[in-house]
Structure 1
Amino acid sequence: MSERSAVTEGATEERTVTSGADAVVAALETAGVEHVFGVQGGAIMPVYDAFYDAALTHVTMAHEQAAAHAADAYGVVSGDPGVCMATSGPGATNLVTGLADADMDSDPVLALTGQVPSNVVGNDAFQETDTTGITRPVTKANFFADDADAVGDTVGEAFTLARDGRPGPTVVDLPKDITLNDTDRAPDQPEHSENFEVPGAADDEAVTAAAEALANADCPVILSGGGVVKGEAWDEIRSFAVEYGVPVVTTMPGLGSFPEDHTLAMEVAGMHGTGYANMALQHSDVMLAVGTRFDDRLTGGVETFAPEADIVHVDIDPAEISKNVRATHPLVGDAATVLDQLHDAMPRAPDASEWREQCQTWKSEYSMDYEMPANEPLKPQFVVEAVDKLTPDDTVVTTGVGQHQMWAFQYWTFTEPRTWVSSHGLGTMGYGLPAAIGARFAAADKPVVCFEGDGSFLMTLQELAVAVREHLDITVIVLNNEYVGMVRQWQDAFFEGRHVASEYSWVPDLATLAGAFGARGFRLDDYDETEATLQSALDYDGPSVVDAHVDSEEDVYPMVPSGGDNAKFAMNEDQLEEL
């Protein structure tokens, strides 16, 4: 019997609250939480004891960082906050990387951390850290619980704050005496803080001016960011683009917000985005940017980004407006609501037929191609495309960070939202496997595929034990090039080929290692074996790992040098040397 079923069988329909720990668990149940990812420990033990008869599933992870990543991915796929737990001290600090990751990507996560008893806080007690102080810079909000009667409502408030408005991680730090103390105060339905307001519609006059600018554009483009997915505005963005004939570029977090098989799709822009997406942004005269923070990996040098474009910037967070790129028409509000406002305010469609033709020309001129010489090793791009062909459109793809992440978004065709789960702003290696575990619990019957690199996979591969224990049907494809590939690529390009601490020829046989964990391991070396090997891994009812040995010299292109002009991208190594 798995841990999952053992906990669920003991669940009760309604909890009687007798302690602070009971109130914490009751708050989660009241909020509709179904899964919690965590690691047990001393200071959090009273809360774990209250899980004994809880109406939810606890998934014990092998490491707290992985618990945070699993909760993050759960939130990305489901739209509801993922919940993670850890004890005090090292348990809480091990969560920090995952919380920082969720904060950068605006992913909804609630973290519950144990803390030493209140009367010894500040005395350097065993496994004490200042959790609220440490996590304050990387969370949307955090709380130090100091009252057993109020702790349930505090947890409920933290849950709603993680989800509503611009999502993000929240923390509730739980001193052991507070969770042990008596209380009969059952938590209410979770509510917002009185000081928190969720923006809805944008200013009508600003919307009218923005709509007029879009209607008068000769070269309009939509930039669809991660906020379109967070705000579930994908139908509105598609409706607007199709009705008014506006090409759509996405950011990496915005993958799936607009179907990449649509004729208006220009795919992802930025450092390793498509050449045609970057050309569309750089030559636009009006850009409707929705739910994006214009980070440096998207814009390159801000001074050269879309130099002739008026920017219509839609974002739920006013702090993002004109933070990196000046907004000509700032529209603060919910993405779906503001897009409906713009749709209604449009006086006419822009006369952009020649522009659309130009965008199609760029697609042909800068197509995403790669060579497959018979005398060279397996190409990673081919492996990604092969997995895509063997899986349905609603497959959830998670990745670690590195070259494999770039190849995954470049050569997989994303047509549905909430199917791309990756670490964007923080760039956390090792994110892929624990993310696949979290995604598996949130994805219902959808297939879950994880792309990892050999270096990235090594950072969290202990979570294979969790996937085996829980009988999780996930397929991990390790694009193994025996390097930390992106570091090696930059060393070749900018450090005269000096490979320092980037060669990973010492990595173990990952297929054999997968078998040691109880997963099914496969090794892939040749083109002729690719389809059969991948299909066997996908068909296996449980966790499988494909150790795909790919060309160690293959680089990711297109590429814009850091801080460069996005219109001056390199399609190969020779072009990069000329920039």
Structure 2
Amino acid sequence: MSERATPVTQPDADEQGDEEPITDSAAPDAATESETDAAPEPVTTGAEAVVRALENAGVEYAFGVQGGAIMPVYDSLYDSEVYHVTMAHEQGAAHAADAYGIVSGDPGVCLATSGPGATNLVTGIADADMDSDPLVALTGQVPTEFVGNDAFQETDTTGVTTPITKDNTFASDPDRVGDDVGEAFALAREGRPGPTLVDLPKDVTKADTDREPDEPRTPDTYHVQERADPEIVAAAAERIENARKPVMLLGGGVIKGEASDVCREFAIEHEIPVITTMPGLGSFPEDHELSLEMAGMHGTGYANMAITHCDTLLAVGTRFDDRLTGGIETFAPDAELIHVDIDPAEISKNIHADYPLVGDAGTVVSQLAEAVDSSPEATKWRAQCQQWKSDYSMAYDAPEDEPIQPEFVVEALDEATDDDTIVTTGVGQHQMWACQYWTFTEPRTWVSSHGLGTMGYGLPAAIGARLAADDDQDVVCVDGDGSFLMTMQELSVAVRENLDITVAVLNNEYIGMVRQWQDAFFEGRHAASDYNWMPEFDKLAEAFGTQGYRIDDYDEVADTIEDAIAYDGPSVIDVHIDPQANVYPMVPSGGDNGQFALTEDQL
């Protein structure tokens, strides 16, 4: 985990009434050792039970914004070892917690007060729900006797969030509230991960209790199927052995299920070409010859061609969303589908599964590995995939006398950083360029908003990712000017906490993806997409108290990126790119993946 900095607002030891710190030259006395090893103080209130539940779960960081109804919980956090990161906005708290969960694998925690505090979390909770990210939201609520009376800052938080949470709970008993939080934590990470929420009325958190919460555990009624049906595994294995045009499609569930290694081994042993979904980036090294990279609306031409022409598709941990499939009737039309997923609701939901394998991704792929006796005879197929790589290369032109091409900037950032660098993004053209031109080789290094498509995700996500990452990992946020503008207030948090992140804003003074669609499908009518009123982001960075850079020419790119990454703390690079640059390949919404466009006139 990244070493946290002490914010300037943190009370010092004397203000908290702590003992004098022990210097390196002084040995601790028996009393100090006893204090260190002593059991924690007993729980006396519902709020203390909430915090004790977080401590029992091993929570290191919580992200949030203080307020009236959640104040008792914050008062109990004051003396806790859980480090609270005060965010500038509750949406930022949810995104930071979401990214923390993606990188660490453990649920991120966010807090907010009632009413607008809770509703400001909703976008981040919905984002985590769409992407199956582990997250626990704790929201303050008006006292129980006022619930339903339209009290000040009252919202039916559990009602609002029921459709976007894996589970949510209205806490009604101070003796039970700690276990409510522990259960929420366990549910968020077990099985198919997702966001959970506990709504905390102020009278419940202020009430007396001596009930110590148990360790986090799921309800007795919650069961997750780990192993797939052996008969279906055997049939699927036989199909793989007899395939002539096999493909593996790895989704985000591969990473969440810690199945990247077993999937890599299976693909390499049997020489099966591998495609990823956008959430699955990093599950298979893109520098490997079997990699066809990402498929879908803006996937590579060769990935989409392989899916369109394969005869056997082994899909692991993907929900087959519309951005991946395009038109369902044209998706993998000649393939028999082997679908591995831990959630039975995803099997045949969008694409019919010929071999439905419900279970944990790593466990089921291991079952397949044991059952497959011989590799498919697919030499010609692999050669065909390599030919498509050549035919539909992702090369681009970058004339020095024209504006900077965004692909060049992404590749320069990739080249300047290590393979384990964590990349976060907002949503729009810049997100797609990051997908296409950064070479991902390791899981949990790609952090973005996939299903919900949330602009503004990138910067708060970089904060959460930084705190979850190893100290020697770089964190780079590739953002767009429109996305950055939505949550750039969180830069104040990165400065306060002295978090070493690099933000590269690909500034084209447009909501770029909207402008691209308007040019293609709306006769170039740029309704509300022209952002030529953008501020100077490098100067704004300096106003926030950190280092800002600006790039206008190709010869400034390499040195500026090197300086920004080397800067010890947050830095912002305002990169002025070609405002007419577009993202290709592109499959129009609902289109045939095999009929992707490489230029606008092909749409």
Partner of 1:60: 86
User: What's the CA shift for 1:2?
Assistant: 3.0
* Aligned counterpart in structure 1 of residue 232 of structure 2, from 203, 206, 209: 206
Q: 2:337 aligns to what?
A: 311
Mapped to 2, the partners of 1:311 and 1:399 lie a distance apart of 32
Match of 2:159 among 124, 129, 133: 133
Name the amino acid aligned to 1:2.
Answer: T
Aligned counterpart, 1:552: 579
Q: How many aligned residue pairs are there?
A: 576
Question: Does the 8 A contact of 1:4 with 1:59 survive in 2?
Answer: no
The one-letter code sitting in structure 2 at the alignment partner of 1:503 is: D
**Aligned partners of 1:8 and 1:57 also within 8 Å:** no
* Structure 2 Cα separation of the partners of residues 8 and 345 of structure 1: 61
Please report how far the alpha carbon of residue 199 of structure 1 lies from its aligned counterpart in structure 2 after TM superposition. 1.5
Alignment of 1:232-381 (within 5 A): 232-381=258-407
Alignment-derived partner of residue 89 in structure 1 = 115
Offset at residue 212 of structure 1 (A)? 0.5
Which of 580, 589, 592 is residue 565 of structure 1 equivalent to?
592
Residue 168 of structure 1 corresponds to which residue in structure 2? Answer: 194
What is the Cα deviation at residue 6 of structure 1? 3.5
The answer to whether the aligner puts 1:531 opposite 2:566 as a matched pair is no
**Which residue identity lines up with residue 567 of structure 2 in the other structure?**
Y
Residue 573 of structure 1 deviates from its aligned partner by: 2.0
Cα-to-partner distance string for 1:51-86 (whole Å, 9 max, x where unaligned): 111011000000000000000000000000000000
1:443, CA displacement in angstroms?
Answer: 0.4
Counterpart residue identity of residue 256, structure 1: G
| Paired-residue identity, % | 70
Q: Secondary structure of 1:554's match?
A: coil
Q: Which amino acid aligns with 2:293?
A: E
Matched, 1:503 2:507: no
1:52 and 1:3 map into 2 onto residues whose CA distance is 14
Q: CA deviation at 1:373?
A: 1.9
Q: Is the 8 A contact 2:8 2:496 kept in 1?
A: no
> Helix, strand or coil for the counterpart of 1:460?
helix
2:490 pairs with 456, 460, 463, which one? 463
Residue 553 of structure 1 aligns to a residue whose secondary structure is coil
Deviation at 1:575, TM superposition (A): 2.3
Q: Does 2:29 correspond to 1:22?
A: no
- Does 2:425 correspond to 1:425? no
Measure the CA separation in 2 of the matches of 1:571 and 1:15.
64
Q: Contact conserved, 1:398 with 1:421, CA < 8 A, in 2?
A: yes
Does residue 3 (structure 1) correspond to residue 7 (structure 2)? The answer is yes
SS in 2 for 1:567: helix
Superposed, which structure 2 residues align to 1:219-230 within 5 Å? 219-230=245-256
Per the alignment, in what secondary structure is the counterpart of residue 78 of structure 2? helix
Contact 2:400 2:554 in 1 (8 A): no
- 1:139 deviates by 0.4
- Three-state SS of the structure 1 residue aligned to 2:596 is coil
Per-residue CA distance 1:160-196 (angstroms, 9 max, x = gap): 0000100000000000000000001111111111121
Q: Show the counterpart of 2:25.
A: none
- CA shift, 1:7, in A, is 7.2
Secondary structure of 1:53's counterpart equals coil
**2:463 counterpart of 1:447:** no
Relative to structure 1, the CA distance from residue 5 to residue 342 in structure 2 (aligned partners, 3 Å threshold; closer, same or farther) is farther
Cα drift, residue 15 of structure 1: 3.9
Q: From 383, 403, 417, give the equivalent of 1:391.
A: 417
Give CA-to-partner distance per residue, 1:495-536, whole Å, 9 cap, x none: 010001000010101100111001210000111111001111
- 1:7/1:254 CA distance change after superposition, 3 Å: farther
Once residues 130 and 313 of structure 2 are traced to their aligned partners in structure 1, the CA distance between those partners, rounded to angstroms, is: 24
Q: Which amino acid aligns with 2:438?
A: W
| Structure 2 residue 178 is matched with structure 1 residue 152 | yes
Contact 1:8 1:54 in 2 (8 A): no
In the other structure, the counterpart of 2:30 is none
Distance 2:7 2:392 in 1: 51
Distance 1:450 1:63 in 2: 19
Aligned to 2:519: 492
Where in structure 2 are the equivalents of 1:32-71 lying within 5 Å?
32-71=58-97
C-alpha separation between the residues in 1 aligned to 2:414 and 2:530? 29
How far apart, CA to CA, are the structure 2 residues paired with 1:535 and 1:360?
34
Indicate conservation of the 8 Å contact 1:4/1:58, yes or no.
no
CA distance in 2, matches of 1:8, 1:82: 27
CA offset at residue 448 of structure 1?
A: 0.3
Q: Is the 8 A contact 1:8 1:56 kept in 2?
A: no
**Which residue does 2:23 correspond to in 1?**
none
Q: 1:246 & 1:175 partners in 2: Cα distance?
A: 54
Deviations 1:401-457 (A, max 9, x none): 000000001000000000000000000000000000000000022110001100010
Distance 1:543 1:78 in 2: 21
Deviation at 1:8, TM superposition (A): 10
Deviation at residue 3 of structure 1 after TM alignment: 3.4
**Structure 2 residue aligned with 1:435, among 461, 475, 478?**
461
1:200–1:334 Cα contact (<8 Å) kept: yes
Structure 1 unaligned spans of 5+? none
- How far, CA to CA, are the matches of 1:156 and 1:428 in structure 2? 29
Aligned mates of 2:40, 2:292 — CA distance in 1: 51
**AA aligned opposite 1:467:** A
Give distance in 2, aligned partners of 1:67 and 1:316. Answer: 28
Measure, in 1, the Cα distance between the counterparts of 2:192 and 2:54: 21
- What is the match of residue 219 of structure 2? 193
Once residues 299 and 230 of structure 1 are traced to their aligned partners in structure 2, the CA distance between those partners, rounded to angstroms, is 21
Partner of 1:475: 502
User: CA separation in 2, counterparts of 1:8 and 1:174?
Assistant: 30
For 2:502 and 2:396, locate their aligned partners in 1 and report how far apart those are by CA, in whole Å: 25
CA deviations over 1:365-424 (Å, ceiling 9, x no partner): 101011112331001000000000000000000000000000001000000000000000
Superposition pairs of residues 394-413 of structure 1, within 5 angstroms: 394-413=420-439
Give the superposition deviation at 1:347: 2.4
Which of the numbers 115, 131, 137 marks the counterpart of 1:105?
131
The aligned counterpart of 1:119 is 145
